[in-house]
Structure 1
Amino acid sequence: MAFLHKHSLATGLAALALLLLSPALAAASPDASRQVVLEHLLVQDCGSCHGLRMTGGLGPSLTPEALAGKPRESLIATVAHGRAGTAMPGWQALLDEQDIAWLVDRLLEGGFNP
């Protein structure tokens, strides 16, 4: 974690706390305020390995072109459960299925603003 800027780490931890402490937000499809938190998580947490523009880094590229042809459900399962033997953690303990599906859909559409 030493490679993370203090502000980014603090902001990411604040977003994570909001995710953990807001079960009402997680129960339904993400509303606008939840989407802001999830987008921040996508850029900061996913971006720390996959690159801030999702073009790759420690982890592979997550651009729409790189994900083309990969089944949506498979991508959702990867985010939920991680990948054994890699640095990819499972996010199921922190995010519900609607949140994960929303994040995967943003990646597939390229609809996020780093």
Structure 2
Amino acid sequence: MPERLVALLLAAATVPAAASGLPPGRAAELETLVRQDCGACHGITLAGGLGSDIRPAALAARTPEGLAAVILDGIPGTAMPPWRPLISPEDADWIARYLLEDEE
């Protein structure tokens, strides 16, 4: 099997289940956005910092739809900015479902 195909298959195997419906490669881009951009406030492990803990257990009471709305529109009066100018509703939905997945 060519090396490039093996690499693609391995990469596809590591993409979370929430990736369905996104263009190829977009899930990996969004995962990077979560780790880098969200992690800048919510902590490198997403356990909290300037922003709150956004690991699955901390978000267990949230719905994907409600969390996507927070991602898109931010939380007025807090440091949580609206991401609507930078990402699509589909991206926000993927991020919400990604954050709610318990990988353990």
TM-score where L is the length of structure 2: 0.75
Superposed CA RMSD in Å reads 1.6
Corresponding position: 1:42 with 2:34: yes
Aligned to 2:101: 109
Aligned to 1:87: 79
Aligned to 2:46: 54
Q: Which of 25, 32, 43 matches 1:33? A: 25
SS in 2 for 1:55: coil
C-alpha separation in 2, matches of 1:110 and 1:52 = 17
Higher Cα Rg, which structure: 2
Q: Please list the CA deviations of residues 67-107 of structure 1 after superposition, one character each: whole Å capped at 9, or x if unmatched.
A: 01112211111000000011100011111111110011110
C-alpha separation in 2, matches of 1:52 and 1:101 = 21
C-alpha separation in 1, matches of 2:22 and 2:76 = 28
Gap regions ≥5 residues in structure 2: 1-20
C-alpha separation in 2, matches of 1:106 and 1:32 = 16
Q: Which of 57, 64, 71 matches 2:63? A: 71
C-alpha separation in 2, matches of 1:73 and 1:67 = 12
Q: Please list the CA deviations of residues 32-61 of structure 1 after superposition, one character each: whole Å capped at 9, or x if unmatched.
A: 311111111000000000011110000000
TM-score where L is the length of structure 1: 0.69
Paired residues in the alignment total: 84
Gap regions ≥5 residues in structure 1: 1-28
